[in-house]
């Protein structure tokens, strides 16, 4: 297994170290783990002005998958690293399935009363929509300024992610798929999504479907999250909903994600949903669990299903026994010990 590792900014390096620790512990003896570490993020930008040089992008292609910590730092103008590095990777490697599972583990605290039974997965489109980067500013800085952001949605881009979501729904016991959009206001994009959702649905008669406006969906995330099985949605709605999903399932410290290129043309990338949390960087306070669960997604993507399940079970068992404050390393160690045994 040949991985690219992008530790990134803030707590990124700390959590990635624990992810690799668990990965090493769980991999079968005969699988050799090779890693190439990429120095990308705020430090590099300050030093060289580079976010993601072409040569690095080329080199990244040689790996089986990418493990990324976190990108972003207050010392860098907002958007520079996000657009120039993180989103550039997602777009360049055509990570059109941004996969974000949400599960409330038995002993994990949730802000919701009544501890609903939460176990769903959001399939967030990852390569277009409002994230296309197609916007601009005119008469910038004047009272007549106009700033635009263009959401670009192609039948090509929507259909493939919708199809992926149906396949995932069909493979799950409940076989339920919910489309989330805002087609009563964003009528052009919304209707494109809805039409393709209905069209592809004909190939999956066994999957039950429904549609929710994004505003209504947020209500159900807190009043009845158990109703969801698989959700498919656009890039921006998916961004918002998956943070909310993380919050109700015990926090952003546990939320994993995979930026997947299903065709395998380019390496897929796995990262915690959380950011770089510069306020706690280097303090050993960051929870590496989201990264470790992202490693499970990485294992599954590369065909190591048994190992993926072992990591997930180890996390579940560890969560059940956590008490008091633990350091980043202690959590990584505890989970690594479990997967190895």
Catalytic residues: 131, 182, 215, 239, 243
How many CA atoms, within 13 angstroms, populate the side-chain half-sphere of residue 31? 16
The residue from 31, 147, 320, 337 that contacts a second copy (CB under 8 A) is: 147
- Beta-bridge partner residues of 178: 210, 231
State the Rg of the chain over Cα: 20
205 binds a second copy (CB under 8 A): no
286 assigned ligand-binding residue: yes
In 3D, which of 273, 276, 287, 278 has the Cα closest to residue 326? Answer: 287
Name residues contacting ligand IPM, limited to 200-229 (CB under 6 A).
Answer: 215
Phi, psi of 269 (to 5 degrees): -130, 135
Distance (Å, rounded) from C-alpha 62 to C-alpha 217?
A: 39
Distance (Å, rounded) from C-alpha 15 to C-alpha 36?
A: 17
Distance (Å, rounded) from C-alpha 176 to C-alpha 165?
A: 10
β-strands 2-8, 208-213: how paired?
A: unpaired
23 binds ligand IPM (CB under 6 A): no
The residue from 102, 108, 183, 261 that contacts a second copy (CB under 8 A) is: 183
Consecutive H or E run containing 134: strand 129-138
Q: Are 255 and 120 in contact (CB under 8 A)?
A: no
Pick the piece of the chain touching ligand IPM (CB under 6 A) from 43-51, 80-88, 109-117, 133-141. 80-88
Pick the piece of the chain touching a second copy (CB under 8 A) from 10-18, 60-68, 166-174, 192-200. 192-200
Q: In terms of CB distance, is 90 or 168 closer to ligand IPM?
A: 90
The residue from 29, 34, 49, 148 that contacts a second copy (CB under 8 A) is: 148
Name residues contacting a second copy, limited to 43-82 (CB under 8 A).
Answer: 72, 78-79, 82
In 3D, which of 315, 333, 254 has the Cα closest to residue 20? Answer: 333
CB of 207 to ligand IPM, least distance (A): 26
103 assigned ligand-binding residue: no
Q: Are 95 and 265 in contact (CB under 8 A)?
A: no
The site that binds ligand IPM (CB under 6 A) totals a number of residues, namely 10
- Residue labelled with tokens 């620790």: 21
Phi, psi of 214 (to 5 degrees): -60, -35
107 binds a second copy (CB under 8 A): no
The number of residues in the chain equals 341
284 assigned ligand-binding residue: yes
Q: Are 272 and 290 in contact (CB under 8 A)?
A: yes
The residue from 26, 121, 186, 308 that contacts a second copy (CB under 8 A) is: 186
Q: In terms of CB distance, is 275 or 332 closer to a second copy?
A: 275
Annotated binding site for substrate: 90, 100, 124, 215
Binding-site ranges for ligand IPM (CB under 6 A) = 72, 82, 86-87, 184-185, 215, 239, 273, 275
Annotated binding site for Mg(2+): 215, 239, 243
Binding-site ranges for a second copy (CB under 8 A) = 72, 78-79, 82-83, 87, 110-114, 130-131, 135-137, 139, 141-156, 159, 182-192, 194-195, 214-216, 218-219, 221-223, 236, 239-240, 242-244, 246-248, 251-252
């Amino acid at each position: 297994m040949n991985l690219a590792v992008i530790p990134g900014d803030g707590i990124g390096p700390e959590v990635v170290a624990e992810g690799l620790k668990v990965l090493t512990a769980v991999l079968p003896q005969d699988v050799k783990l090779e890693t190439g570490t990429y120095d990308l993020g705020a430090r590099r930008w300050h030093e060289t002005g580079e976010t993601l040089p072409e040569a690095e992008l080329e080199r990244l292609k040689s790996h089986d998958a990418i493990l990324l910590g976190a990108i972003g730092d207050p010392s860098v103008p907002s958007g520079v690293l996000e657009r120039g590095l993180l989103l550039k990777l997602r777009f360049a490697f055509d990570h059109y399935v941004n996969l974000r599972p949400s599960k409330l583990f038995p002993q994990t605290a949730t802000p919701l009363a009544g501890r609903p039974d939460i176990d769903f997965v959001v399939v967030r489109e990852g390569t277009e929509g409002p994230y296309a980067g197609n916007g601009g500013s005119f008469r910038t800085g004047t009272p007549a300024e106009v700033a635009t952001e263009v959401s670009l949605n192609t039948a090509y881009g929507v259909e493939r992610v919708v199809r992926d979501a149906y396949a995932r729904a069909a493979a799950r016991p409940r076989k339920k798929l919910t489309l989330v959009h805002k087609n009563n206001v964003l009528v052009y994009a919304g209707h494109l999504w809805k039409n393709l959702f209905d069209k592809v649905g004909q190939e999956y008669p066994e999957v039950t479907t429904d549609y929710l406006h994004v505003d209504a969906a947020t209500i159900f995330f807190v009043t009845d999250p158990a109703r969801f099985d698989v959700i498919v949605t656009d890039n921006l709605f998916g961004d918002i909903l998956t943070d909310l999903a993380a919050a109700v399932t015990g926090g952003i410290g546990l939320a994993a994600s995979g930026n997947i290129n299903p065709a395998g043309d380019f390496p897929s990338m796995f990262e915690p949903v959380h950011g770089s949390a510069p306020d706690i960087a280097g303090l050993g306070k960051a929870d590496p669990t989201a990264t470790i669960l992202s490693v499970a997604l990485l294992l599954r993507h590369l065909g190591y299903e048994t190992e993926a399940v072992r990591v997930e079970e180890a996390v579940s068992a560890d969560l059940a026994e956590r008490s008091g404050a633990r350091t980043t390393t202690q959590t990584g160690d505890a989970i690594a010990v479990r997967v190895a045994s």
